[in-house]
Amino acid sequence: MPPRAKTPPRAWQRMLSGRRVDLLDPSPIDIELEDIAHGLARVARWNGQTEGDHAFSVAQHSLLVAKIVCGLRKDLPDRWRLAALLHDAPEYVIGDLISPFKAAIGLDYKAFEDRLLQAIHVHFGLPGELPKSVMQLIKRADRMAAFFEATHLAGFEESEARRFFGNPSGLDEKTRQSLVHIEPMSVGEAQLHYLEEARRLTI
């Protein structure tokens, strides 16, 4: 009797909405905002190594990045601010891997993450690949958010944070002052604020 064919390993994750996201071939149809907000509010930045009564979530980090892009570009259209809010959205499925670990894994991980982000973009009516100028702006805001998180929550000295994330210049004083005291939100708060901001930007 020939050996029974092996069942291929499961490559999808079931979400609370009932959707099943295929990790190898993600479809925009299976993306739900509520799943993203739920997941990101429960994923800790910095592997949880932050000060405060609550973990600093990827949802709250994403809100911070969306805020910073507007501080850098006052005339930024809402669709690109939405793109900033969604920049780490794949982590609702795959979690938040710290940058050193991503570097150790290599380019295959990045390609996998990019496929999922493209499906998320298409679901929200954004281009799969963002314009280069928008990508650069979001990346700049992401690094600035990391600088403030590192120095106010994760125990980095400013000189060390500048070495890794650059100098956070170009922000207006009001936005900069709002970043000086970052208070980690509870899971429920982060989820609610993320949902509200995403819905506001998609109206």
Other C-beta atoms within 10 Å of 173: how many?
8
Closest by Cα among 147, 139, 119, 141 to 12: 119
Which residues lie closer than 8 Å to 50 by C-beta, 6 or more apart?
Answer: 44, 56, 149, 153, 154, 184
Taken in order 6, 8, 14, 19, the sign of the CA dihedral is negative
Instruction: Calculate the average pLDDT of the chain.
Output: 90
- Cα(71)–Cα(65) distance, rounded to whole angstroms? 10
Q: Give tens-digit pLDDT for 131-151.
A: 999 999 999 999 999 999 999
| Integer angstrom CA distances of residue 173 from 68, 72, 178 | 12, 11, 9
- Give the distance from CA 171 to its chain's centroid: 21
pLDDT given for residue 180 in this prediction? 73
- Cα(149)–Cα(156) distance, rounded to whole angstroms? 9
Least confidently predicted of 128-132, 161-165, 174-178: 174-178
Q: Give tens-digit pLDDT for 91-108.
A: 999 886 666 666 666 556
> 57 - beta bridge partners?
44
Least confidently predicted of 30-34, 106-110, 150-154: 106-110
pLDDT given for residue 104 in this prediction? 64
Q: Contact at 8 Å (CB) between 67 and 178?
A: yes
The residue extents of the domains of the chain are: 29-202
More confident residue, 195 or 169: 195
Which residues lie closer than 8 Å to 47 by C-beta, 6 or more apart?
Answer: 96, 98
Name the DSSP letter for residue 50: -
Whether residue 159 is predicted with pLDDT greater than 80 in this model: the reply is yes
Whether residue 157 is predicted with pLDDT greater than 60 in this model: the reply is yes
Q: Is the pTM of this model over 0.85?
A: yes
More confident residue, 3 or 80: 80
CATH dotted code for 29-202: 1.10.3210.10
